[in-house]
Copies of this chain bind each other. A is one copy, B any other.
């Protein structure tokens, strides 16, 4: 997995920020797009703004590694991030793909519990844990919001356990495609040509399969006219009903 090493966040910020900044992030006073600020008042957002700092990172950039000492919490402004855990012999399990608006960097006992790596070019906002703790005390709604985000992640993790433990390769892939499709809908994009920013290797490590099995299963679904593969990185959902049946395991 030819991954760039973790670099100094600050230098990266200077190096890559210019060309990747989006309009909403150019000026530091608009942070509503940050997920856990969504419900806050203007006043509260202002407070948050003072402690945040953002950067744009290239694809395949390691933000932090499992076991690293925790310093910051990150929020994705734009782009895609993958979180994963490794076994000593290199076997990898991707815990989740995160998109714009999602938060990561939670940890136990001062160490990150997974590695975080960008999939595409990505813009991140980050806060120190210390400052976030202070803010949580000052803004009770923030605490509540972070709790419900943790619950949301927990529910997703449990759904993924069902997938990993009990679904077949076809069912896993169908579930995966429908999830991405649903997410696109939520962001106001069309549900059907699903964008796959991640590689086959990433998909395999997310679904508990091998690259080859993922590839073969794509081919099978295409042969069955359930999906179409118009271009690399894009999947057409031709028969959503069939996909749903597969995903639910009926």
Q: Are B155 and A89 in contact (CB under 8 A)?
A: no
Q: Are B157 and A147 in contact (CB under 8 A)?
A: no
Q: Does A15 contact B (CB under 8 A)?
A: no
Secondary structure call for the A interface: helix
Number of copies: 2
Q: Does A140 contact B (CB under 8 A)?
A: yes
Interface residues of A in 223-250 (CB under 8 A from B): 248-250
A207 to B87 CA separation, bound complex (whole angstroms): 17
A160 to B165 CA separation, bound complex (whole angstroms): 10
Residue of B whose beta carbon sits closest to that of A113: B155
Q: Does A92 contact B (CB under 8 A)?
A: yes
Can you show 27 pairs from A to B with CB atoms below 8 A apart?
Answer: A85-B162, A87-B248, A87-B249, A88-B248, A88-B249, A93-B165, A106-B151, A106-B154, A108-B151, A108-B152, A108-B155, A113-B158, A137-B140, A140-B143, A143-B143, A146-B147, A147-B150, A150-B154, A154-B154, A154-B157, A157-B158, A157-B161, A160-B161, A164-B164, A164-B165, A165-B207, A165-B208
